[in-house]
Chain A
Amino acid sequence: MNIENLLKTMFRSFFIIVTGIIASMYVFCLVFNPDASFSLHDIGGILMMAFVSDLPYLLFYSGKELSKKQMYIRKAIHLPVLLSVVLYFACLWDWINISHTKEVLTFVLLFLFVYIMVFITCKYQDKKLADKLNHRLRERYRSY
């Protein structure tokens, strides 16, 4: 991915992450802390978290188009890097208590669930489009 496309992707993902964090916080607090209230500082934290979560996207930077295999490798590196960044900041801002294993585990599972769901949804949509494109290609070049 070249730098222009990478920045576009990072910009778009920033807003997706903000939405994702708010939705995750809602579910997380609903389970563990239903009386939670949030301050201005927390809103800043959400924006900051979205920004730092965006940074591992830089792993996808490449001067030339990455092959399928290279993309899978970078994706496999991106997941643990992103999880580490998110966990670090979640602990730093007291969103989770590292000594509470259950809390950390729920947080990690929630993170993995969202990551995998997004991955599967995108893959499914791409597969559907690929089938359509293949069908059209066959139609087009059979008729000429």
Chain B
Amino acid sequence: MKIVIEELHDGEEDQIIIKCREMTDELIHLLAMIKLHDALIAYDGNNIHRLQPKEIYYIEVVDNKTFLYCKDKVLESKQKLYELENLLLNSDFLRVSKSVLLNLRKVKTLSPALSGRFEATLANNEKVIISRQYVNDLKKILGI
């Protein structure tokens, strides 16, 4: 793949132009990676945080509130889970149950959790259950 970097004139906005014959999986992933640099807004009481999606281990809805679980902190988001799911589409995030979006990049290992479900142990040793009805999506994303 050829990479061209052009210097812009003063006042012009930074931009990335992709020229391709078709959008391959590799390109889609690349775009998702670029999009991942857009920070999410999260709250910790009255404090507002700008959070890179790559810092998030998983996102969970509890009692209609959306929480972003990071390595050693939990922040709240005002966005709904489906909104975050759309925002993080084609990234490393995958819906793994009705209430959880999991960052696959943070998964250390997967183990069976009975009845066709799986338990993901994350890099910070937290555990997240993958529902049976979402296992197919996981298999698809990993090319199985």
Contacts and interface: CB of A to CB of B under 8 A. Distances in A.
* Interface of chain B: mostly helix, strand, loop or mixed: mixed
A123 B109 contact: no
B118 A130 contact: yes
Q: Which of B97, B107, B113 has the most CB of A within 10 A?
A: B113
Contacts, number: 72
B98 A137 contact: no
B144 A65 contact: no
A72 B115 CA distance: 10
Given A136-B142, A141-B105, A122 B131 contact: no
Contacts of A137: 104, 107, 110, 142
B144 A126 contact: no
Interface of B: 29, 97-100, 104-105, 107, 109-119, 127, 129, 131-133, 135, 138-139, 142-144
Interface of A: 1-2, 5, 9, 60, 64-68, 71-72, 75, 122-123, 126-127, 129-130, 132-134, 136-137, 140-141, 144
For the complex of A and B, list the 3 residue pairs with the smallest distance between their C-beta atoms, beginning with the closest: A126-B112, A136-B142, A65-B129
Given A123-B112, A123-B114, 19 more contacts: A1-B115, A5-B132, A65-B129, A66-B129, A67-B127, A67-B129, A68-B127, A68-B129, A71-B114, A72-B114, A122-B114, A129-B118, A129-B144, A130-B112, A133-B110, A133-B138, A133-B144, A136-B144, A140-B104
